[in-house]
């Protein structure tokens, strides 16, 4: 196989729809927009509009409470951290923080921080700096001889 022989699979590409090219094309004159009205004009975006009827998102009752100050953590399992240590992508001798987890590819965008969970086993002696951790994750890391460093606010909670 060579680069000049590569092609798309059959049916993978389609020609663009050329509208307004005569009545014989089937999509001439009004170009598929029908006659007059708001939707025949350009710049139409009627999201949720139901022709003057009260839209469903306003008819249905709102329930519950939405906390706008809620924090969103990225969850990391200790088993995944151990796997990266075994693969040589993380050095267990150095402190592990969000930047190290990002460079190893375990964490994408850290959002409000990383929360350590206890899924899996850890055998390496690690010092890990995270925004939060479950009690069982802290116990598992300390059992292996390591430590979990939490920010002052998370440690007091």
What pLDDT, on the 0 to 100 scale, is given for residue 115? 96
Q: Which domain holds residue 94?
A: 74-156
pLDDT digits (tens, 9 = 90+) for 62-97: 999 999 999 999 999 999 999 999 999 999 999 999
Q: Is residue 44 in a domain? A: yes
**How does residue 28 score in pLDDT terms, banded at 50, 70 and 90?**
very high
From 9, 44, 64, give the residue that closes a domain. Answer: 64
Average pLDDT over residues 45-72: 91
- Whether 127 and 107 share a structural domain: yes
Total domains, the chain: 2
- Whether 145 and 96 share a structural domain: yes
From 32, 64, 96, give the residue that closes a domain. Answer: 64
Residue 155 has pLDDT above 70, yes or no: no
Residue 145 has pLDDT above 80, yes or no: yes
- Whether 88 and 149 share a structural domain: yes
Sign of CA dihedral 47, 51, 52, 57: negative
Average pLDDT over residues 5-30: 93
- Whether 113 and 41 share a structural domain: no
Tokens 């049916």 belong to which residue? 11
pLDDT digits (tens, 9 = 90+) for 100-137: 999 999 999 988 999 999 999 999 999 999 999 999 99
Task: Report which of 45, 43, 145, 126 is spatially closest to residue 83, judged by C-alpha positions.
Answer: 126
């Amino acid at each position: 196989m060579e680069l000049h022989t590569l092609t798309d699979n059959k049916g993978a590409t389609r020609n663009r729809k050329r509208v307004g090219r005569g009545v014989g094309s089937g999509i001439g004159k009004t170009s598929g927009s029908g006659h007059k009205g708001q939707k025949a004009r350009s710049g139409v975006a009627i999201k949720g509009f139901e022709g003057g009827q009260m839209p469903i998102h306003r008819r249905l009752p709102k329930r519950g409470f939405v906390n706008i100050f809620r924090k969103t953590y990225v969850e990391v399992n200790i088993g995944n951290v151990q796997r990266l240590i075994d693969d040589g992508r993380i050095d267990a001798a150095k402190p592990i923080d969000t930047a190290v987890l990002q460079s190893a590819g375990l964490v994408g965008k850290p959002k409000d921080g990383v929360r350590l969970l206890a899924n899996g086993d850890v055998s390496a002696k690690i010092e890990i700096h995270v925004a939060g951790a479950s009690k069982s994750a802290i116990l598992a890391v300390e059992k292996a001889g390591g430590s979990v460093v939490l920010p002052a606010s998370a440690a007091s909670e």
